[in-house]
């Protein structure tokens, strides 16, 4: 049977394949799926080519959070070489059903900054994913190469004004954190908070849908 138009492959970028259904999500006021977040994280990785930065795909984060055999995590995480990274960014989803990989109803972001040995959670909907982020944090601490890591809930994190833009806030905040990391030779306790608070506004987040669509069009034109 021929593939439906929704399944039509639009772009293959690094290890991510985008389909027509993903463009439909970006064009409308819809909740972002795993593929769009993985694509933009892959793009940020290419834009910030540093061995010190790691943006973890949603599928990997999901498995870390929900791995049924915790003893197997070490082998699973070893290729990521987490202890060597200075900045690690994870997209957090509140889905805990391993049979529904694309489940869940909210995205947030957990970032680890090694110089200050802190995990920071950014949630655009009043801390809805706080418990999920803390569960991820507790799982990761033994694998990030440092003891005594702290968890911080960023109280100044920008808040969404719609019920469907949480994934866009994750992407916008991830971009600002990466820009902050590249632009600061001296890291301090203030981290990226002020930069995120200033630059991640509802207007900029809303415009990110168009920016990503234009980026996809541009990348397609290079093929």
Residue 161 belongs to domain with CATH number? 3.40.395.10
- Do 93 and 104 form a contact (C-beta atoms < 8 A)? yes
Higher pLDDT, 155 or 102: 155
In angstroms, rounded to a whole number, what is the distance separating the alpha carbons of residues 124 and 140? 22
Please check whether residue 65 is in contact with residue 139, taking contact to mean a CB–CB distance below 8 angstroms.
Answer: yes
What is the spatial distance between Cα 14 and Cα 165, in angstroms, rounded to a whole number? 25
pLDDT greater than 50 at residue 74: yes
Residue 164 belongs to some domain of the structure: yes
pLDDT of residue 5: 83
Is-contact 106 166, C-beta < 8 A?
A: yes
The number of folded domains in the chain is 1
How far is Cα 216 from Cα 27, in angstroms, rounded to an integer? 12
Residue 129 half-sphere exposure toward CB, CA atoms < 13 A: 30
Q: Does residue 103 lie within any of the structural domains?
A: yes
The whole-number pLDDT of residue 153 equals: 97
d(CA 153, CA 123): 8
Residue 199, in any domain of the structure: yes
The verdict on residue 75 lying in a domain is yes
Kindly state whether residue 200 falls inside one of the protein's structural domains: yes
Buried b (16+ CB within 10 A) or exposed e, 132-163: bbbbbbebbbeebeeeebebbebeebbebeee
- Going by pLDDT thresholds of 50, 70 and 90, the confidence category of residue 186 is low
Structure tokens at 205: 């987040």
- Structural domain harbouring 200: 49-212
114 is a domain residue: yes
Confidence of residue 1 (pLDDT cuts 50, 70, 90): very low
Q: Let me know if residue 154 belongs to a domain.
A: yes
Mean pLDDT score across all residues of the chain: 92
Whether the CB-CB separation of 159 and 201 falls below 8 Å is answered with no
Q: Catalytic positions, please? A: 106, 123, 166
- 186 within a domain of the structure (yes/no): yes
In the numeric block, the tokens 């599928």 are attached to 59
The per-residue pLDDT for range 146-178, each reduced to its tens digit, is: 778 999 999 999 999 999 999 999 999 999 999
């Amino acid at each position: 049977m021929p593939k439906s138009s929704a399944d039509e492959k639009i772009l293959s970028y690094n290890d991510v394949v985008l389909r027509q259904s993903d463009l439909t999500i970006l064009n409308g006021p819809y909740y972002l799926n795993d593929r769009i977040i993985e694509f933009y994280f892959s793009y940020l990785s290419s834009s910030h080519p540093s061995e010190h930065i790691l943006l973890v795909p949603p599928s990997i984060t999901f498995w870390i959070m929900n791995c049924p055999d915790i003893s197997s995590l070490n082998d699973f995480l070893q290729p990521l070489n987490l202890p060597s990274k200075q900045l690690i960014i994870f997209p957090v989803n509140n889905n805990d059903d391993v049979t529904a990989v694309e489940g869940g109803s909210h995205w947030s972001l957990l970032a680890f900054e090694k110089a200050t040995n802190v995990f920071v959670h950014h949630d655009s909907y009043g801390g809805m994913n706080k418990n999920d982020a803390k569960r991820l944090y507790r799982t990761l601490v033994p694998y990030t190469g440092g003891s005594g890591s702290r968890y911080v809930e960023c109280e100044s994190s920008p808040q969404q004004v719609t019920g469907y833009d949480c994934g866009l806030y994750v992407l916008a905040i991830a971009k600002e954190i990466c820009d902050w990391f590249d632009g600061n030779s001296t890291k301090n306790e203030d981290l990226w908070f002020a930069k995120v608070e200033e630059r991640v506004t509802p207007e900029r987040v809303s415009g990110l849908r168009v920016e990503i669509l234009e980026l996809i069009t541009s990348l397609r034109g290079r093929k």
